[in-house]
Structure 1
């Protein structure tokens, strides 16, 4: 086993060891609409917030493959906790794309600092001599209650009347206001509230050009670090869906545990539901759907890592396929959990039953705009046909 494989196995095992804790705290996380403090402490102690932090600051600087495997494992325990952990690590990777000066400001005094992000441009920005002044509202900032920094999408006005570019401003959260807006049916524990900025100055070294990043152009001086050469959107899309096969697998474990207790199949002659061919067939199909989701997820991660290691920018067709893979992960995970609800029956929707929370979390998480199956199919289809005009810049 290679050193990287050993590291991946160790980190995944650390995640697996926390699944029981996350399950015990899942209801409280949802009720409080933020990750339980005990979860945050345990994840920090296990080093699972530092998967993408550069080794220069004491992080793991691991692979995308490791990141998605850890995220999926945590998904077995709590969807909201897994989602926020994945997002914190995405943001750690994003910080690694900035110039060294910005990275030092984030991690220099606190190597355990966490960042949240909203990629969609919000509000306005105006250039000053050495930076941008931003004002606006950024909804859906997952993890903002436990973050010290925020990455906020902004428009960057082009010169000579050119269309504005997209930028990403790195801002301390103590310069922002959190507006309590996250009241949802699923993923309640992510605390994805709205961030507000009013005339906040962001120096130029803390503004990343998203337009350039989409072309593989990152301002980090550490070009020998393969992780921070990975393709921009493929990393975001693959990691954001990574907890979802874990959610489905957690549902499978719950249903299998229930069936093992010998419960009957209501309104039939089966004294034990596990004896029914219909139950067996649906379980098999659900398991296959979860496997399909995981295989697509791991293929995407391995391909991202391989292109990053090669030092070449991932071609459009391969990037489009990762978007398609990510949509497939979301859709198949959702379908698997739907079948498991059929097997478990109406009792799945009792408030005391964790399966209904898993279902709500899966329904919400799998509909993130970046993994929209219809749009992803259109993007991939155009790439396969060599059609230059695309429907999204985020490829």
Structure 2
């Protein structure tokens, strides 16, 4: 992992010496592969459980966060109603231009600029899923897909962090009311970084736990006001991990993010040493995975993570693919004008048509998946379906941009690094464990096969449209 350089101050950034992290395992939203029956069983257990306790409505907080998240937002974004849907939508073009203008610098610094983060906040991403009782939007997944993809057109790293800041607000809605008040009592525009893969250790304390450990690949953590960190209790091995809300003053950041793409996400390592976490700032990870109901949770909160995880990860990739197509098309227009070969022209036309079709197909798949979630009429089979749809969509986006990257040749790369960055970002997103197609396909097939009744040989013989001679060729 490398040596940690201690500064003696908790609220600091420290640097790593030694080998840097090369794996891309950012904010894993599910532990391995769950079959459709496991998904259903997990959700059913929590839906019927009477052991989940939450603070009562109106319970007052004994602690207020020391940060001032509102100061991060450009004052011009908050006039006439801070973070309202109309204001956020109106500011989105500015957000995209700002993200694009700072994209190269973000790659070099391996973190987003303060200007870009301020615009993400002004665009309403931090508050997108925050409960309305705290001034949030309780927004839709279709809305998040559209916004994060649009931001991703300017900078995929900004789209990635923006999508995750929104998703992590949904996570924090699982905290008891008192814990939610700690986070959002002053403003819903709070940036939350999350590490959902268990690490570290939580030791019992008189009013909660003492948390220590290191959590790798935590996107956007340099700008986070709070972190949700997953750990198992030292004496509660059978209880499953919890997510613990830790304020910015109680964790340090170890610079460790070295990756092929998404360099600007600043997915560094979080280090916690002996932070005191009261009971109202923690909840079981299993509740989040299952989409369990609870105090103040609305439709956007009570969905299984596997129903929406891949969809959220694909959003910035969709935007990056649009950026790549636009960049390539501008180059191809001039290349076609300079070319005296009809064969070369046909190759460019064919590439444009095929890559556009792949991109449109991916967009339609993702929009359809978002609609399934937002209508609230999804089934357990749709959980597996959405996971597989996300892997199919990312494969289409990779294929689309790979084709552009190969066809562009050396000359397009001489004049612009945008296409190369989009290519690296999309392939890095596609490498995420949640977006691997084979496990998702197996889970989807299991969900289909488990819903089919077994047919006996006699039923096969009498099935309409199958002759007696054809049944001999039906595989056993």
TM-score category (smaller protein): 0.7 to 0.9
Most deviating of 24-33 and 43-52: 43-52
Higher relative contact order (CA 8 A, sep 6+): 2
Q: How does 1:69-218 map to 2 (within 5 A)?
A: 69-156=146-233, 163-218=238-293
| Correspondent of 1:254 among 302, 317, 327 | 327
- What is the distance in 2 between the residues matched to 1:110 and 1:9? 18
Which deviations, in whole Å up to 9, do the C-alpha atoms of 1:212-233 show, x marking residues without a partner?
Answer: 33333244x114x322223333
2:391 corresponds to 1:327: yes
Q: 1:8 to 1:383 in 2, by over 3 A?
A: farther
Q: How does 1:224-243 map to 2 (within 5 A)?
A: 225-243=298-316
Give the corresponding residue for 2:369: 300
Aligned length: 368
Q: 1:194 to 1:336 in 2, by over 3 A?
A: same
SS of structure 1 residue aligned to 2:310 = helix
2:424 corresponds to 1:360: yes
Structure 2 portions without partners, runs of 5+: 1-83, 452-476
Most deviating of 231-240 and 105-114: 231-240
| Correspondent of 1:286 among 344, 355, 360 | 355
SS of structure 2 residue aligned to 1:229 = coil
Normalised TM-score (structure 1): 0.86
Does the Cα contact within 8 Å between 2:126 and 2:188 map onto a contact in 1? no
Q: Which of the two has higher C-alpha Rg? A: 2
Q: 1:323 to 1:282 in 2, by over 3 A?
A: same
2:423 corresponds to 1:342: no
2:463 corresponds to 1:386: no
2:138 corresponds to 1:61: yes
SS of structure 2 residue aligned to 1:85 = helix
C-alpha root-mean-square deviation of aligned residues, in Å?
2.4
- What is the Cα deviation at residue 12 of structure 1? 5.3
Q: 1:263 to 1:282 in 2, by over 3 A?
A: closer
- What is the Cα deviation at residue 351 of structure 1? 8.0
SS of structure 2 residue aligned to 1:171 = strand
Q: How does 1:25-64 map to 2 (within 5 A)?
A: 25-64=102-141
- What is the Cα deviation at residue 349 of structure 1? 3.9
Does the Cα contact within 8 Å between 1:72 and 1:244 map onto a contact in 2? yes
Does the Cα contact within 8 Å between 2:208 and 2:277 map onto a contact in 1? yes
2:346 corresponds to 1:270: no
- What is the Cα deviation at residue 110 of structure 1? 3.6
SS of structure 2 residue aligned to 1:228 = coil
Does the Cα contact within 8 Å between 2:85 and 2:124 map onto a contact in 1? no
